[in-house]
Amino acid sequence: MKTPFHLMIVPTLRCPAKCSYCWSSEHTGPVMDLGTVRAAVDWLAGLNDNPVTVTFHGGEPLVAGPAFYEAALPMIAGGLAPRTVAFAMQSNLWLLDDRTAAVLAAYRVPIGTSLDGPPEITDAQRGAGYTARTRAGMEVARRHGLRVSVICTFTAQSAPRREEIVGFFRENGFVMKLHPALPSLRDDRPEPYALPPQDYGELLVHLLDDCLAHPDTLRVMNIDDLIKSVFVRRGTVCTFADCAGSTFAVGPDGGIYPCYRFVGMEEWRMGSVRENPGRAELEATEAWQRLSAFRAFVDGHCGSCRHVRYCRGGCPYNAIAPAGGEVTGVDPHCVAYRRIFDEIADRLNAEISGGDGMMALMTGRRTGAPTGIMGLVQRMVSR
């Protein structure tokens, strides 16, 4: 089976919002034209024929406007056929109108939007009026049958209010995708919002317990992904897989980067879709070499860690950001990953050796016992 490939298209780094901890947006800057989309399709068509997920990222991708998506979506789906092409989008939804929603619905584009909890928490972190504008966009999405999950960024300020935040997600029936606020490669200032790794680890364990306590009303995608990774012993999201070579991002001017997080950073540019670089040319770039160095570093540094098969040292961007672009360590969230992976692996082993969990998974029957990790696995399988 061919490895799934991930292409992130960043139509612009512009964004109308002013979130306090954002590291990936500007208020001015170019917007991708359709010639660049065409060039990106031609480049990818020549690069491989793997199934691909194309995610529109930003900045705010809806700044590109409805005409962009009406032309780009068929161009990408048609240009990459017959391979399987899935789409996704990360957007605050402020600019979602009926015309754009209709074309996104036609191409079944699931959307990840962002709310950090109740309005007072979200607006304190993301700016006054943020929640109202995003909720209005969610309503447009709902009318068109678009699937929306909600990214919740936990900062050093909001993490102590976890219970309120979880309550808000449960009351509204939102599927949560958790992001810890990160230090940025683009910003020299100390990062007052960044969530310390220790706190992130504790937060993940609390959220695991919240999911176990409320399996019918709370779903945290990260917890599902962490459990899945331990269960199948392979990273199932980019953070826990070697992303180099299976993920690329294309910026507004056609520049190629290892991931959307690096878009616009000249030292991470790997060429342009208009130059149509092949695999060998990409592998010769400085950016590729640095990511390869990270992978080699992980093989040595994490060699004795029980979780290395499904952790892989975490995200290379996180690892490289605090070190000024050099490979000097693994993802600083290692402490958090080790904490949650230990917790999941130990509980899972206890359940399996106790027999109850495996029986529940195999028969699909609830045993009457409180939901355990295997109960959550069972729910994932049946979704």
Q: Can you list the pairs that 81-88 forms with residues at least 24 positions away whose Cβ atoms lie under 8 Å?
A: 83/49, 83/50, 83/51, 83/52, 84/51, 84/52, 85/51, 85/52, 85/53, 85/54, 86/51, 86/52, 86/53, 86/54, 87/53, 87/54, 87/55, 87/56, 88/53, 88/54, 88/55, 88/56, 88/112
- CA angle 200/205/207 to nearest 5° reads 90
Task: Quote the distance between the C-alpha of residue 328 and its chain's center.
Answer: 24
Helix (H/G/I), strand (E/B), else coil: 333:
coil
Nearest approach, Cβ of 239 to ligand SF4 (angstroms)? 5
User: 11, 316, 332, 375: which one contacts ligand SF4 (CB under 6 A)?
Assistant: 316
Binding mask 239-268 for ligand SF4 (x = CB under 6 A): x---x---x-----------x-x-------
- Name which of 332 and 375 has its Cβ closer to ligand SF4: 332
The tokens of 245 are what? 């070579």
Pick the piece of the chain touching ligand SF4 (CB under 6 A) from 150-158, 175-183, 188-196, 303-311: 303-311
Nearest approach, Cβ of 285 to ligand SF4 (angstroms)? 15
- Name which of 133 and 290 has its Cβ closer to ligand SF4: 290
Q: Can you list the pairs that 201-204 forms with residues at least 24 positions away whose Cβ atoms lie under 8 Å?
A: 201/335, 201/336, 201/337, 201/338, 201/339, 201/340, 202/339, 203/154, 203/159, 203/162, 203/178, 203/336, 204/178, 204/336, 204/339, 204/340
Residue 80 contacts ligand SF4 per CB under 6 A: no
Nearest approach, Cβ of 376 to ligand SF4 (angstroms)? 21
- Name which of 119 and 183 has its Cβ closer to ligand SF4: 183
Residue 307 contacts ligand SF4 per CB under 6 A: yes
Which amino acid, 132?
A
Residue 311 contacts ligand SF4 per CB under 6 A: yes
- Name which of 261 and 347 has its Cβ closer to ligand SF4: 261
Contact predicate 10/59, CB 8 Å: yes
Residue 332 contacts ligand SF4 per CB under 6 A: no
Residue 308 contacts ligand SF4 per CB under 6 A: yes
Residue 320 contacts ligand SF4 per CB under 6 A: no
Nearest approach, Cβ of 243 to ligand SF4 (angstroms)? 3
Residue 305 contacts ligand SF4 per CB under 6 A: yes
Nearest approach, Cβ of 365 to ligand SF4 (angstroms)? 34
Q: Which positions touch ligand SF4 (CB under 6 A)?
A: 238-239, 243, 247, 259, 261, 302, 305, 307-308, 311, 313-317, 330-331, 334, 337-338
